Amino acid sequence: MEKRVYGVLGIKSIMANWNADFSGYPKSISNGDIFGSDKAFKYPMKRCWDEGGKKVLYIKSLKVEEDKKEGINVRPKSLKERYEEIFNVPNLKDAKDTKEVLKNLFTAIDVKNFGATFAEEGKNISITGAVQIGQGFNKYKDISVEEQQILSPFRDGKESKGEANATTLGTKIVSDEAHYFYPFAINPTVYKSFVEMGVTEGYTEADYSVFKEAALASATAFNTNSKVGCENEFAIFVETEKELYLPDLAQYITFRKEEDKNVIILGFEGLLNELNDRIKSIEVYYNNYNTKLEGNIEKAKYFNIFTRKEV
């Protein structure tokens, strides 16, 4: 691919929990600002690819295992087992050719995009991904966190006699409204040495197309209990010449609410307009039903993020 790509991906969360910490609350930094990790965005993308029949290595998969002491259990597969499953390898221990392992790794769509750390069976392989996604900070300042009490239909068998007739209580924690904006950058030149080794053709337009589709739809499609209410609401893809280096664009985005519209302010318009002659194309996707954009980007084309029709 003879270009670089920079951009921002936006996620809306309404009465949902896009990315919880180990306490169950939305992740935050020391000053209280709420954010979503890159892993929170990558996971639904991987799920989207996996459900679409593509090879995905770094995703949780399960196996049924029989143990003499514990009986039959369902356990997560190891990296070795996952590798053997998706690449149809009988035993990774017998794979002496590291070059062949590299070829296999680059056929997995998550590795091709995000890279890999593969330390199994004497092979220590590190691949820096062409696609790098940063941390997505919530830009909506009036966010509040809600705790919901949930009544279970079952009692706890370990409860004391006085509580034997009561069902258990649980808690669901959500944010009432949040708007996360993730920066990303795609640098296809990071695979140069692997191309020279003959283990991959490099990062291609087809790889970029697959990434782009998942980046636009995977959050909306990922309807788990805590993610219902989360959806893709914004994305910008800035395709540039290979020698142009842009900063994190998400830092220039601000967000506010009006009476009947969400407003996303594209504070990087001046930067992009000054570099107009070095930019190949700019595509902006957003939910134009309830959102409006502020910022006049000269080279941009605008699309409905759901229908993909130009607006």
Pairing relation of β-strands 262-266 and 291-294? parallel
Amino acid 7 reads G
pLDDT per position as a tens digit, 37-50: 999 999 999 999 99
Place of tokens 């902006």: 284
pLDDT per position as a tens digit, 93-134: 888 889 999 999 999 999 999 999 998 877 889 999 999 999
Q: H/E element holding 114?
A: helix 109-114
Look at residue 29 and tell me whether its pLDDT is greater than 90: yes
* Cα 157 from Cα 135, distance rounded (Å): 42
In a domain, 22, yes or no: yes
In a domain, 254, yes or no: yes
For residue 159, what pLDDT band results from cuts at 50, 70 and 90?
A: low
Which residue segment(s) compose the domain that 199 sits in?
A: 4-54+130-304
Look at residue 161 and tell me whether its pLDDT is greater than 60: no
In a domain, 219, yes or no: yes
Q: Who contacts 102 (Cβ-Cβ below 8 Å, separation ≥6)?
A: 125, 194, 197, 199, 200
pLDDT per position as a tens digit, 47-86: 999 999 999 999 999 888 877 777 788 889 999 999 999 9
In a domain, 105, yes or no: no
Q: Are 171 and 24 in contact (CB under 8 A)?
A: yes
- What does the mean pLDDT of the chain come to? 92
Q: How many domains are contained in the chain? A: 1
In a domain, 91, yes or no: no
Show the CA angle centred on residue 190, arms to residues 185 and 193, nearest 5°. 170
In a domain, 79, yes or no: no
* Cα 157 from Cα 73, distance rounded (Å): 21
